[in-house]
Amino acid sequence: MSYKIFVVNTGSTSTKIALYQGEEALYTREISHSPQELKAFHTLDSQLPYRQKAIAAALAEDGIDLAGLSAVAARGGTFGYAKGGAYLVEEHLLEACRHPITNHPSNLSAILGADLAGQYGCRAYIYDAVCVNEVTDLARVTGLKDIKRRPFSHVLNTRAVAREEAARMGRPYEELNFVVAHLGGGISINVHTGGKIVDLVCDDEGPMSPERAGRLNTKALIELCFSGESDQAGIMRRTRGAGGLMEHLGTSDLREVDRRIENGDAYAAFILSAMSYQIAKDIAALSSVVRGKVDRIILTGGAARCRRLVDPIQEQIRYIAPVVVVPGAIEMLALARGVTRVLDGTEEAHIFGEEA
């Protein structure tokens, strides 16, 4: 049976929507939200009416009829540690999304999804949320007993591309070992074995990225925090949003970095090489989790389109396993596929707070 599934995926400055019939995208649109418009909202929750109106206006403008909808698939946020797979959007999960672990725009998706599902008489689900925690207890230990490593990564896209690669190999995803690097504004890298993501490098503890500072010297960071030169919000902005390429080159746009290198900018070339070097080093480190028995290394995300970034990574790590490059992200399709598996009975949806 081919299900009609509406997908909603909220980002910091956009709301992506799509309508799928089976594997076919009948409709896709990315609704942009200008920083000037968003400045009027002091909390994420206060954006909800604005985003609801934006979705309704886009559907009306494009003549999209959602009658006969089978389900809504929403991006899962940082509402609390969760299992991989699907969760039914119900009151416990909605309450958690209203009071999440971190203030991330993805938490709006489930709330918007529930509203749409209510309008069209179907259920809403999330799938492979940002806060999926399959990381082993051993991998979460740090040198301070009251601080654990955060198990957040780009689960949705990395698992989706790993599943696709397993299908191309003609093998079940659960039988293979992958190391997958999602290269975007933030970079996360994870290792998949036995169908689970058992360890990872999240976007603030690994390589620098277009917008993140990544791993920093602890002593120097503490000194910076207490130097009096900036407050907490300023340090946060510098490390998450204005770090990495933004700090060094004043841009997070890899196309601009590429143009500068083409025009002979040696410093831009050096910084991009450093980022490639750091990514490759963390991929190699995660391969040790499965004793080097890696079936494929996958490089995905928007930044994977930049050959000057990707080619040196491949050169540095291809000794471990074959490297596959999957530019961009398939998050919308991955959400539709995940909810389809729930609707056809292949997977069962979890209820937040009731997991075994």
- What local confidence, expressed as pLDDT, does residue 356 receive? 54
Residue 103 lies in a domain: yes
The domain containing residue 300 runs over which residues? Answer: 155-327
Phi, psi of 103 (to 5 degrees): -80, 80
H/E stretch holding 17 reads strand 14-21
Q: Distance (Å, rounded) from C-alpha 209 to C-alpha 245?
A: 6
Q: Are residues 42 and 128 in the same domain?
A: yes
Residue 163 lies in a domain: yes
Residue 143 lies in a domain: no
Q: Are residues 214 and 226 in the same domain?
A: yes
CA-based nearest residue to 28, from 282, 331, 320: 331
Q: Distance (Å, rounded) from C-alpha 20 to C-alpha 142?
A: 43
Q: Are residues 58 and 165 in the same domain?
A: no
Residue 123 lies in a domain: yes
Q: Distance (Å, rounded) from C-alpha 176 to C-alpha 113?
A: 33
H/E stretch holding 193 reads strand 187-193
Residue 336 lies in a domain: yes
The amino acid occupying position 26 is: L
Q: Are residues 310 and 187 in the same domain?
A: yes
Q: Distance (Å, rounded) from C-alpha 156 to C-alpha 160?
A: 6
Q: Are residues 114 and 187 in the same domain?
A: no
Residue range 283-319, pLDDT digits in tens: 999 999 999 999 999 999 999 999 999 999 999 999 9
**Which residues make Cβ contacts (< 8 Å) with residue 223, sequence separation at least 6?**
none
- What local confidence, expressed as pLDDT, does residue 150 receive? 87
Q: Distance (Å, rounded) from C-alpha 21 to C-alpha 120?
A: 16
Residue 216, judged by CB atoms within 10 A of its CB (0-12, 13-18, 19+), counts as: middle
- What local confidence, expressed as pLDDT, does residue 355 receive? 66
| 86-88 and 296-301 beta bridge pairing | unpaired
Residue 95 lies in a domain: yes
Q: Are residues 275 and 337 in the same domain?
A: no
Q: Distance (Å, rounded) from C-alpha 20 to C-alpha 308?
A: 35
Q: Are residues 307 and 339 in the same domain?
A: no
Residue 351 lies in a domain: no
Residue 140 lies in a domain: no
Q: Distance (Å, rounded) from C-alpha 34 to C-alpha 169?
A: 42
- What local confidence, expressed as pLDDT, does residue 35 receive? 78
**Which residues make Cβ contacts (< 8 Å) with residue 209, sequence separation at least 6?**
183, 184, 185, 186, 187, 203, 243, 244, 245, 275, 303
- What local confidence, expressed as pLDDT, does residue 299 receive? 98
**Which residues make Cβ contacts (< 8 Å) with residue 114, sequence separation at least 6?**
72, 74, 89, 94, 124
Q: Are residues 64 and 171 in the same domain?
A: no
Structural domains of the chain, count: 2
* Strands laid side by side in the 86-88 sheet: 24-32, 14-21, 4-10, 71-75, 123-127, 86-88
Q: Are residues 294 and 238 in the same domain?
A: yes
Token pair in block for residue 117: 């599902």
In the numeric block, the tokens 């799928």 are attached to 20
What parts of the chain have a pLDDT lower than 70? 355-356
In the numeric block, the tokens 């976007």 are attached to 203
Q: Are residues 114 and 233 in the same domain?
A: no
H/E stretch holding 190 reads strand 187-193
The amino acid occupying position 275 is: M
The amino acid occupying position 153 is: S
- The secondary structure of residue 142, as a DSSP letter, is -
Token pair in block for residue 161: 């591309």
| Adjacent-strand bridge partners of 7 | 18, 73
Q: Are residues 268 and 177 in the same domain?
A: yes
Q: Distance (Å, rounded) from C-alpha 55 to C-alpha 215?
A: 37
Global pTM value:
0.90
Give the ranges where the chain is alpha helix by DSSP (H): 35-38, 48-61, 91-98, 107-120, 155-169, 218-225, 232-239, 245-249, 254-262, 266-287, 307-317, 331-343
Whichever domain contains 311, its CATH number is: 3.30.420.40
C-alpha distances in Å from residue 103, one per residue of 72, 79, 279, 308: 23, 9, 26, 33
Q: Are residues 300 and 339 in the same domain?
A: no
